């Protein structure tokens, strides 16, 4: 979290459409690893229109601000950045050049109409599930001269409409992110994800494996599987059955050249026996797990709607340690949840 990256050139590249005019694209990315992945895929979607990545926004024909809604005052940070981008747009307009400004990601999903009201110079507002429609949005914005907003959750899954993603081409880039699951059905009291990313949805096994193979062929040796609840993965397998994360991990481990597999972020409720056993039996699965607990107080865990107790979390850790004694664990903790007492805080510290 809190990550800010500019441009997409170092993430993924594709061969440009030689028939399309060359345009400059600059992407500013805030937030999690999934946003980094999404920014790269937006570059893939726009490349057939002639857009090529540039390192700074000053000369960009299109600027995408890919936002995160997790942090406090996230929307205000977006408007502050948009104020700087407006100056670039006005300067280029005075020089006879057009700049399209798009706001994408979770702030766009949650605050779409507010963005257009406070920053009417923004041309496109799109949620994280609709960026496969970017070429259409660009065309509509150019034709109508009005802002385009796409924040409804589409019935189709965006991954079915994205072009093939090429793996990073930068020499020595041996790691890559790969989104396999999005959304959440847990509705924790403190979390906005179900409202910005939608319900839990998983990519098909075939789609994931194909992208992983392309990554491995380009030199990637370690893949981090991404999802809001990645261990809730339930993608359709090539045989028509539903595969879980364990089944997928074993299939990924068979890809030549791919030697390390990680995944994040996990929910305690979705850590099943098969996945625990995979940490013991699958050498390619790295001995690391990020498993948020959020609180050590059962009363606060209930208020958070976490669906597990502190003892159930401890038992899960014991089972993981029994399967993989050298497993490294990290977690998330929230203090100051509404209603938390000193006793609740001490239970978390304990």
Could you read off the pLDDT of 86-110 as tens digits, one per residue?
999 999 999 999 999 999 988 888 8
Q: What is the pLDDT of residue 166?
A: 53
Task: Name the one residue in this structure whose structure tokens are 């050590």.
Answer: 296
Strand partners, 30: 4
Q: What is the pLDDT of residue 41?
A: 86
- At 1-22, the pLDDT tens digits run 344 444 433 333 334 444 555 8
Task: Name the one residue in this structure whose structure tokens are 């345009």.
Answer: 23
Distance CA 297, CA 302 (A): 9
Q: What is the pLDDT of residue 73?
A: 72
Distance CA 301, CA 312 (A): 11
Residues 186-189: contacts with CB under 8 Å, at least 24 apart = 186/229, 186/267, 186/269, 186/305, 186/306, 186/307, 187/305, 188/294, 188/304, 188/305, 188/306, 189/303, 189/304, 189/305, 189/337
SS3 string of 234-283? CEECCCCCEECHHHHHHHHHCCCCCCEEEEECCCHHHCCHHHHHHHHHCC
Q: How far is CA 346 from CA 96, 199, 336, in A?
A: 62, 34, 12
Q: What is the pLDDT of residue 32?
A: 82
93 in Cβ contact with 100 (< 8 Å): no
- Tens of each residue's pLDDT in the chain, 350 residues: 344 444 433 333 334 444 555 899 999 999 888 888 889 889 988 998 999 999 999 999 999 999 988 766 777 888 899 999 999 999 999 999 999 999 998 888 888 889 999 999 999 999 888 888 888 999 888 877 778 888 776 655 656 656 566 545 455 679 999 999 988 999 999 988 888 888 898 999 999 999 999 999 999 999 999 998 999 999 999 999 999 999 999 999 999 999 999 999 999 999 999 999 999 999 999 999 999 999 999 999 999 999 999 999 999 999 999 999 999 999 999 999 999 999 999 999 99
Q: Rg (Cα) of the chain, in Å, rounded?
A: 21
Distance CA 296, CA 312 (A): 11
Distance CA 114, CA 154 (A): 21
Q: What is the pLDDT of residue 129?
A: 82
Q: Encoding tokens for residue 98?
A: 């057009």
pTM: 0.75
């Amino acid at each position: 979290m809190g990550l800010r990256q500019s441009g997409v050139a170092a993430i993924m590249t594709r061969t440009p459409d030689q028939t399309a005019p060359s345009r400059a694209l600059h992407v500013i990315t805030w937030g999690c690893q999934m946003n980094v992945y999404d920014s790269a895929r937006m570059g893939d979607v726009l490349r057939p229109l002639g857009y090529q990545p540039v390192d700074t926004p000053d000369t960009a024909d299109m600027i995408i601000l890919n936002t995160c809604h997790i942090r406090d005052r996230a929307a205000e940070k977006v408007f502050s950045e948009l104020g700087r981008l407006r100056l670039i747009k006005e300067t280029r307009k005075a020089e006879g050049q057009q700049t399209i400004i798009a706001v994408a990601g979770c702030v766009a999903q949650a605050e779409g109409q507010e963005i257009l009201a406070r920053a009417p110079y923004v041309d496109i507002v799109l949620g994280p599930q609709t960026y496969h429609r970017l070429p259409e949005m660009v065309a509509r914005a150019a034709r109508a001269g009005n802002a385009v907003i796409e924040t409804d959750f589409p019935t189709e899954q965006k991954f079915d409409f994205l072009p093939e993603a090429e793996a990073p081409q930068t020499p020595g880039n041996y790691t890559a992110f790969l989104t396999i699951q999005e959304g959440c059905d847990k509705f924790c009291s403190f979390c906005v994800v179900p409202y910005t990313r939608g319900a839990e949805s998983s990519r098909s096994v075939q789609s994931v494996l194909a992208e992983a193979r392309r990554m491995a062929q380009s030199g990637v040796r370690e893949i981090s599987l991404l999802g809001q609840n990645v261990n809730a993965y339930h993608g359709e397998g090539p045989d028509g059955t539903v595969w879980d994360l364990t089944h997928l991990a074993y299939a990924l481990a068979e890809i030549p050249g791919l030697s390390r597999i990680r995944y994040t972020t996990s929910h305690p409720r979705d850590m099943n026996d098969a996945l625990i056993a995979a940490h013991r039996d699958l050498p390619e699965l790295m001995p690391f797990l990020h498993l948020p607990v959020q609180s050590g107080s059962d009363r606060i865990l209930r208020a958070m709607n976490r669906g597990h107790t502190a003892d159930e979390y401890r038992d899960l850790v014991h089972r993981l340690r029994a399967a993989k004694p050298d497993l490294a664990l990290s977690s998330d903790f929230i203090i100051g949840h509404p209603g938390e007492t000193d006793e609740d805080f001490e239970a978390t510290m304990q």
